[in-house]
Amino acid sequence: MSKKKIETEKISWEYAAAPESASHIDIKEKYDHFIDGKFEKPSSGKYFDSINPATEQKIASIAEGNSKDVEKAVIAARNAYDNVWLVMPASERAKYLFRIARLIQEKAREFAVIESLDGGKPIRESRDIDIPLAAAHFFYYAGWADKLEYAFPNRKPTALGVVGQIIPWNFPLLMAAWKIAPALACGNTVVLKPAETTSLTALKLAELIQESGLPDGVVNIITGDGKVGAEIVGHKGIDKIAFTGSTEVGKIIQKTVARTEKKVTLELGGKAANIVFEDAPIDQAVEGIINGIYFNQGHVCCAGSRLFVQESIKEIFIKKLKDRMETLIIGNPLDKNTDIGAINSKSQLETIQGYIDLGKREGFELFQSSCKLPKEGYFIKPTLFSDVAQSSRLAKEEIFGPVLAVQTFRTVDEVIEKANNTPYGLSAGVWTDKGSKIFNLTSRLRAGVVWANTYNKFDPTSPFGGYKESGFGREGGIHGLSAYLKFD
Ligand code: NAP
Ligand code: MG
């Protein structure tokens, strides 16, 4: 085939731009903290910028929190807990949660667009995954609020009190929902800190909470950097810390709370193994690998960042994978065709680039799709390293970007040993036609979630959480309730 012919074919596969409209969204120039049902100026008087990572343009100014703001929020949360929320019949509490869920659904388009503008993720993901799942979590836990005695028969569950919640930037609204919904359903009140780079949808949620009529002080949101998180963790008036983020910060939090009465749950990093056997449905597995590591820029704690492919199918599998990588569309997060949006921040871009440079230095075979990257914004091509050594940092450390480390295996025992040879244990994937193999692997892989012939599937009824350095405690399902309760 001539070169010209190939080029013509490529052009015929390009989609016309199909950007989601941003004309219907309402973003203020400046956002204050949400304390005791009202928006309050930061004690510091300072604000920081929230940036659109696809354009590097400022979107809004966000209040910079400090210890005084945290103090106010904890007082409001304690007051609401003692005088309103705990004494309210559980069936009444449920009504507020149902209302919040319905309001999220009503404003789903606005939330989706803001999530993609502020965080860089493709609109397809924020529209179809983040926002519907956030609403689903509120619906699900609303249903439990007045049925806790049935969830835990003969155990008299009661709320913990004021809960401090700290969340990361990869699923901003969804993580807020994962935290707030079960905490409130169990009768606790909340002080939440979103990640510095993605505060906007949490603040839009604060507006929505105001509209829902939720009693003042039940949910308080303080924005700012890691120092605000540390203030929340160290505050004596907080009964429980729920944290999602890096293992590094998780360890700091664990040290801080070690000598206190505070309860803690930690959802931390991961380095998931996606294992493809020779009897797997190959095209389906290729799609699963792509979904596991490239969609959402690899900004997923459970990203399938290590691919183990059985040696006998390595060539055909890697060829199909590379072909599929070539078709991925990278660019404007608001375009409905986009598969891979912007990397969340400049510092994350540099971290990922650092790992790609390391892989090159270590001499592993590099493949990147030949797409053009936008001139502005933080973007990285989908990247694959073949035959990565088990000892390499590429195979051991969480990159949190669209970088796949490929290894091969021959036997089941070999792949289980390799897959488990990591300090993490959040998730894994198994691709095979044999049910017996699936059961064998799911019982021997040390990971909180093991997906079989699918990947990255979430549901509020299903618990999620880690083994080893991926943290402890579960979110979602009935298990997610016990993280916010004590038992007599
Ligand atoms: P991170 O740096 O640990 O930050 C998470 C949150 O903690 C942010 O709000 C951050 O504030 C805050 N923080 C930073 N230092 C703190 C301190 N000393 N004390 C208290 N809070 C502090 O993690 P990230 O880079 O934002 O997020 C990516 C990580 O989250 C990855 O490791 C990923 O695997 C993990 N993650 C895990 C799950 C899960 O369910 N297991 C889900 C999603 C993400 P700033 O906003 O200033 O950074
Ligand atoms: Mg931003």
Catalytic residues: 267, 301
Which of 50, 166, 266 should be mutated for ligand 1, with most atoms under 8 A from CB?
A: 166
Q: Do domains 30-268+470-487 and 273-459 have the same CATH topology?
A: no
Q: Flag whether pLDDT at 6 surpasses 80.
A: no
Q: Flag whether pLDDT at 1 surpasses 50.
A: no
Predicted confidence at residue 488, as pLDDT, reads 80
| Cα-to-centroid distance, 118 and ligand 1 (Å) | 17
Residues in Cβ contact with 93 at an 8 Å cutoff, skipping those fewer than 6 apart:
85, 145, 146, 184, 185, 187
Angstrom CA distances, 204 to 36, 110, 189, 453, stand at: 16, 9, 19, 36
Residue 403 CA neighbour count, 13 Å, CB half: 30
Angstrom CA distances, 280 to 103, 319, 436, stand at: 42, 16, 13
- Give the start-to-end residue ranges of the domains of the chain: 30-268+470-487, 273-459
List pLDDT tens digits, range 188-232: 999 999 999 999 999 999 999 999 999 999 999 999 999 999 999
CB atoms within 10 A of CB 412: 16
List pLDDT tens digits, range 223-240: 999 999 999 999 999 999
Percent of the chain with pLDDT over 90: 96
Residue ranges with strand state E in 146-214: 157-159, 162-166, 189-193
Q: Flag whether pLDDT at 285 surpasses 70.
A: yes
Which of 66, 249, 257, 468 should be mutated for ligand 1, with most atoms under 8 A from CB?
A: 249
Classify 133 as helix, strand or coil. Answer: helix
Atom of ligand 1 nearest to the CA of 466: 41
H-only helix segments in 225-384: 226-234, 247-257, 282-293, 314-327, 346-361
Residues having CB within 6 Å of any atom of ligand 1: 166-170, 193, 195-196, 225-226, 229-230, 233, 244-246, 249, 252-253, 267-270, 301, 398, 400, 426, 466, 471
Question: Which fold does the domain 30-268+470-487 belong to in CATH?
Answer: Aldehyde Dehydrogenase; Chain A, domain 1 (3.40.605)
- CB of 33 within 8 A of CB of 65? yes
What is the SS3 assignment for the chain?
A: CCHHHHHHHHHHCCCCCCECCCCCCCCCCEECEEECCEEECCCCCCEEEEEECCCCEEEEEEECCCHHHHHHHHHHHHHHHHHHHCCCCHHHHHHHHHHHHHHHHHCHHHHHHHHHHHHCCCHHHHHHHHHHHHHHHHHHHHHHCCCHHHHCCCCCEEECCEEEEECCCCCHHHHHHHHHHHHHHCCCEEEEECCCCCCHHHHHHHHHHHHHCCCCCCEEECCCCHHHHHHHHHCCCCCEEEEECCHHHHHHHHHHHCCCCCEEEEECCCCCEEEECCCCCHHHHHHHHHHHHCHHHHCCCCCCCEEEEEHHHHHHHHHHHHHHHHHCCECCCCECCCCECCCCCHHHHHHHHHHHHHHHHCCCEEEECCCCCCCCCCCCCCEEEECCCCCCHHHHCCCCCCEEEEEEECCHHHHHHHHHCCCCCCEEEEECCCHHHHHHHHHHCCCCEEEECCCCCCCCCCCECCCHHHEECCECCCHHHHCCEEEC
Classify 175 as helix, strand or coil. Answer: helix
Q: Flag whether pLDDT at 2 surpasses 50.
A: no
Atom of ligand 1 nearest to the CA of 270: 34
Q: 273-459 maps to which CATH number?
A: 3.40.309.10
Q: Flag whether pLDDT at 425 surpasses 80.
A: yes
Entry pTM:
0.96
Atom of ligand 1 nearest to the CA of 248: 3
Q: Flag whether pLDDT at 3 surpasses 50.
A: no
Q: Flag whether pLDDT at 374 surpasses 90.
A: yes
Predicted confidence at residue 10, as pLDDT, reads 52
Cα 228 to Cα 382: distance, rounded to the nearest angstrom: 34
What angle (nearest 5°) sits at the alpha carbon of residue 61, between those of residues 54 and 47?
130
Amino acid at 41: K
- CB of 400 within 8 A of CB of 348? yes
Residue nearest to atom 21 of ligand 1 (CA): 229
